[in-house]
Amino acid sequence: MYGGTTVEYRLDPNDNWRIDLDDIASKMDDSVRLLVLINPNNPTGNVATPDEIDALLDIVRDYPQCTIVSDEIYDGLDFTGQMCSTASRADNAPVITLNGVSKVYFAPGWRIGYMAWHDPEGRLSLVRDGVERLLRSRLCASTPAQHGYLAGLTDEHGWLEGHRSRVKERLDYCMKRIEDIDGLECETPGGAFYMFVRITDERADSDKQWVLDVLYQHHVLVVPGTGFSTEYGAGHFRMVCLPPIETLAEAFNRIEKFLGD
């Protein structure tokens, strides 16, 4: 609406989809207003280390009109032990953190989330005033959902370990199956519940057509990588590892049959 454009930055497909800090630095200038970080990452499962976040903040420090938007909705599904909130590392750069219940709490139907503003130098006072005006003009999340999320934030979190271990078991199973299938490769995800799988099958002309062929011929649905980025996602597909292992096994059996046809 106001002439803004999106500039994509690169993640390294050969190093667990690590953030390419040099690529970000090369694309920064005084016109950049928002730098978006998704950590843990969707679709790749990468988890940024504290050192990488510090390096990102060092880059932004030279651009005082830039705010970091840090989407951390998968923060409770970190398997690296290195997950930390971007705002906790920022001394002067403003950070808007996004989170909610749909992923870690497995409650997408509740439609509840939040924005947390870290603005140590008060740069976003006018922006925040505008956002709050917009919020007051809309309906809020339902009262039962708000109380439920409050309990999730303040009560003990022992239950989460069971969810996390089940997700990790299913991720490990998927990695083992992919390693055994000729035509697929995948970097090990460090968090969330996705895998961004590289299609090495030489018959694949495009990831979108490959996905459609698997869907029509063997009724397995995955998401083409170009749906996330036409440049950096090409030749990949994203799959979700939440189903029971029995369901995942059937899906991989069908994909393996497709690749063997």
Confidence of residue 219 (pLDDT cuts 50, 70, 90): very high
For the chain, the structural domain boundaries read: 11-154, 159-260
The pLDDT value given to residue 88:
97
Would the pTM of this model clear 0.85, i.e. be above it? yes
The pLDDT value given to residue 130:
93
Per the prediction, the chain carries an average pLDDT of 94
d(CA 18, CA 26): 16
Rounded mean pLDDT, 211-224: 97
| Category of 85 on φ-ψ map: left (φ > 0), alpha (ψ -120 to 50) or beta | beta
Q: Which tokens hold the place of 45?
A: 């499962």
* pLDDT tens column, 106-128: 888 888 889 999 999 999 999 99
pLDDT higher than threshold 80 for residue 139:
no
* Separation of CA 61 from chain center: 24
pLDDT higher than threshold 90 for residue 158:
no
Fold assignment, 159-260: Aspartate Aminotransferase, domain 1 (3.90.1150)
d(CA 195, CA 28): 29
The helix/strand/coil state of 43 is: coil
* pLDDT tens column, 38-67: 999 999 999 999 999 999 999 999 999 999
- The burial class, CB within 10 Å (0-12 / 13-18 / 19+), for 30 is exposed
The pLDDT value given to residue 141:
84
CATH of domain 11-154: 3.40.640.10
d(CA 20, CA 194): 20
